[in-house]
Amino acid sequence: MISSFASKTLFICFIISTMTCFVALATDNNPLQDFCVADANSPVLVNGLVCKDPKVVTENDFFTSGLNIAGDTSKNLVGSNVTTVNVARIPGLNTLGISLVRIDFAPWGINAPHTHPRATEILTVIKGTLRVGFVTSNTENRHITKVLNEGDVFVFPEGLIHYQQNIGHDNAVVIAALSSQNPGVITIANAVFGANPDISADILAKAFQLNKNTVKQLQARF
Ligand SMILES: *[C@@H]1O[C@H](CO)[C@@H](O)[C@H](O)[C@H]1NC(C)=O
């Protein structure tokens, strides 16, 4: 017969293991084999991408080049350009839970407030000086911010809204690694004011405590 102490212990273990399970599912799944190179030609839709036959996998499935080339920061109003190296560029990243970006900044350029629904980000400054920050969730909305110089490293926790700004007089370059093969990006201004079709101006006016005309002006810009 199980004592009440033992049954309580079992119950607590069950709760903990369930919670651990949720934590593990919050990020990319663990691989179940050495690799699962994405098969770009497969019509099958799965969570992630279907594996290519390992026999036809080559070194080039794990390779890309050109990250020495700066993104063009003059093509948009924010003055930055993100070059993405995710599973779409390196098929071998499929199931490995990792990817990276190069971000170029014009002087005073920003990477606008955004969030990655599936990844934590760790950023290294290669060149320049940046102001970076993130905001914690609604219990506090605490703004954690810091100025970074060459060689400095900063972490943006999974899901939290964050940004970077080049505060130097020259171009800046960073490399950031992300804990997903496909982190996703939600740029806050674009998602809220540029939703297609529009989120009703009534809703946004109340949410942002603005008048409807201001909301419509913002919507016209995104
Ligand atoms: C980023 O730079 C590339 C070329 O370097 C350019 O083709 C692309 O339009 C730029 N993207 C943005 C969003 O400015």
Q: Looking at residues 14-20, what average pLDDT do you find?
A: 47
In whole numbers, what is the pLDDT of the chain averaged over residues?
A: 91
pLDDT value at 150 more than 60: yes
In terms of domains, do 104 and 208 share one?
no
Which DSSP string do the residues of the chain spell out, in sequence order? Answer: ---HHHHHHHHHHHHHHHHHHHHHHTSPPPPSSS---B-TT----BSB-PBPPGGG--GGGG----TTSPP-TTSSSS-EEEEEESTTT-GGGTTS--EEEEEEE-TT-EEEEEE-TT--EEEEEEES-EEEEEE--TTT--EEEEEE-TT-EEEE-TT-EEEEEE-SSS-EEEEEEESSSS---EEHHHHHHS-SSPPPHHHHHHHHT--HHHHHHHHHH-
Distance from residue 82's CA to the centre of ligand 1 (Å):
8
In terms of domains, do 93 and 202 share one?
no
Is the CB of 29 inside a 6 Å radius of any atom of ligand 1?
Answer: no
**In this predicted structure, what is the pLDDT of residue 27?**
79
pLDDT value at 17 more than 80: no
Q: Which two tokens stand for residue 16?
A: 């903990």
In terms of domains, do 100 and 174 share one?
yes
Is the CB of 81 inside a 6 Å radius of any atom of ligand 1?
Answer: yes
Q: What digits encode the pLDDT tens for the residues 160-194?
A: 999 999 999 999 999 999 999 999 999 999 999 99
Q: What digits encode the pLDDT tens for the residues 111-147?
A: 999 999 999 999 999 999 999 999 999 999 999 999 9
Q: Picking from 20-29, 71-80, 96-105, 190-199, which range would have the lowest pLDDT averaged per residue?
A: 20-29
In terms of domains, do 155 and 190 share one?
no
Consult the annotation and say whether 114 binds a ligand.
yes
Taking the C-alpha atoms of residue 215 and residue 193, their distance in angstroms, rounded to an integer, is: 8
Any domain includes 83: yes
Range of the domain at 76: 28-184
In terms of domains, do 176 and 192 share one?
no
pLDDT value at 24 more than 60: no
The CATH number of whichever domain residue 123 belongs to comes to 2.60.120.10
In terms of domains, do 68 and 130 share one?
yes
Mutation choice for ligand 1 from 68, 74, 80, 81, CB with most ligand atoms inside 8 A: 81
Instruction: Kindly tell me the sign of the dihedral angle through the C-alpha atoms of 177, 182, 183, 187.
Output: positive
Residue nearest to atom 11 of ligand 1 (CA): 81
Any domain includes 213: yes
Any domain includes 12: no
Task: Please count the structural domains in the chain.
Answer: 2
Distance from residue 153's CA to the centre of ligand 1 (Å):
25
Any domain includes 14: no
In terms of domains, do 161 and 219 share one?
no
In terms of domains, do 126 and 190 share one?
no
Q: How far is CA 60 from CA 37, 55, 93, in A?
A: 11, 14, 12
Q: What is the pTM of this model?
A: 0.87
Q: What percent of the chain has pLDDT over 90?
A: 87
Q: What digits encode the pLDDT tens for the residues 79-108?
A: 999 999 999 999 999 999 999 999 999 999
Is the CB of 107 inside a 6 Å radius of any atom of ligand 1?
Answer: no
